[in-house]
Amino acid sequence: MKYKIVSDSSANLLQNTATFACVPMKIIGQQEYIDDGTQDTAVMTQELKHYKGKSSSSCPNVSDWLEAFEGGECIFAVTITQALSGSYNAAVQAGKTYMEEHPGAQVHVVDSMAAGPEQAMIVDKLFALLEAGLEPEAVMEKIRDYQSHTYTLFCLESLTNLARNGRVNPTVAKIAGVLGIRVCGEAQQGQIVPIHKARGAKKALSTLVDMIAERGFHDGCLLRVAHCFGSEMALQLRDAIVERFPGARFHMEPTGVLCSYYAEIGGLMIGFEGGYNPNNHP
């Protein structure tokens, strides 16, 4: 069967090929920002920083997913955590419709339980499993096992947009950015959970390295970082991780529109492989 992998744009994978399609999320503020790789995120973040009105994110609808599924016979759709978005439910409904309209086709929907780097890691794992020739059911079983050993951490200077959209407690959000305090936290069951408050970049970096090590990261594991105009700290994190784990694999990328909106300037999103994760059960 001809396979195709489709992800919403919260994975920061915006290219479209014969075997991969990106379904764009949107940010709605004083104007609409479509997460399709054509937006200047620097301009967007500055405009929204000074915008006093309401802003929000918007997930792909059923027709968006259906359009992206076209051409595939065995499709794997990877979505941002359903705990924070309707993207998963839209993909599931689109999958049912697509299979009705294309007898014999298969659509498998994966709730990443995350966003950003961890979601991208799942996409990469799907490609590896499919290229190895595994059957769809075996692929899904392997993906579920993989997710039980992956994590998402974050380090944010501002939680303003997360608080405005009900993703974190406004009281917690007020702490971030005050006197140089950064909030370090984790995705647990797909929810954003602040854990540590670190004063200054050096303390935040040390906190992140400890959190990563505590979750079973070891030589040979992959660590993937998406940054919102925070490449300097991302590279410092790379150096600190490689110093402790010389065999670590590292990948760095900028955030797209959706992740930039929530991470905000200076924010880091970190996906990585580690030990068993009791908080990552789709």
Q: At 72, is the secondary structure helix, strand, or coil?
A: coil
Instruction: Give me the pLDDT at residue 30, please.
Output: 87
Which range, of 28-42, 47-61, 115-129, 162-176, averages the lowest pLDDT? 162-176
3-state secondary structure of 7: strand
Percent with pLDDT over 70 in the chain: 99
- Span of 49-53, 59-63, 99-103, 123-127 with lowest mean pLDDT: 49-53
Q: Are the C-beta atoms of 200 and 227 separated by less than 8 Å?
A: no
Structural domains in the chain, sorted by start: 3-147 (3.40.50.10170), 150-273 (3.30.1180.10)
Reduce the DSSP state of residue 227 to 3 states and report it. Answer: strand
Q: How confident is the model at residue 177 (pLDDT cuts 50, 70, 90)?
A: low
Residue 169 has pLDDT above 90, yes or no: no
For 116-168, what is each residue's pLDDT tens digit? Answer: 999 999 999 999 999 999 999 999 999 999 999 999 999 999 888 898 888 88
> Any alpha helices (H) in 167-230, and if so which ranges?
170-175, 201-214
**Residue whose C-alpha is closest to residue 257's, from 19, 23, 1:** 23
Confidence of residue 282 (pLDDT cuts 50, 70, 90): low
- The alpha carbon of 171 is separated from its chain's Cα centroid by a whole number of angstroms, namely 24
What does pTM read for this prediction?
A: 0.95
DSSP element (H, E) containing 130: helix 117-131
Q: What is the mean pLDDT of the chain?
A: 94
